[in-house]
Amino acid sequence: MQLPSVDNFVKDQHYGITYNICAYRELSREEMMRAVQVFIQQQGGRQPRQGAVVKIFSVIGLNDG
């Protein structure tokens, strides 16, 4: 299986964190926000440090026709 290769960037202005959601297609704002929510939940609710750049790999778009 090929790894996702489309970078989707969203910035949390409050914490100064940039999230790079790597997926199989361009994501909508809602899809990006959901991927970030899931990531934070998986981290036990802890935010990354201020100014961090976080790369999230997503399967969104894998099975799109």
Note the pLDDT tens digit of each residue in 6-33. 999 999 999 999 999 999 999 999 999 9
Q: Kindly list the domain boundaries of the chain, sorted by start residue.
A: 6-57
> Nearest to residue 26, comparing CAs of 14, 43, 42, 9?
9
pTM of the predicted structure, to 2 decimals = 0.89
Q: In this model, does residue 47 exceed pLDDT 80?
A: yes
Tell me how far apart the alpha carbons of residues 25 and 41 are, in angstroms, rounded to a whole number.
Answer: 23
Q: What is the pLDDT of residue 65?
A: 66
Section 40-64 average pLDDT:
93
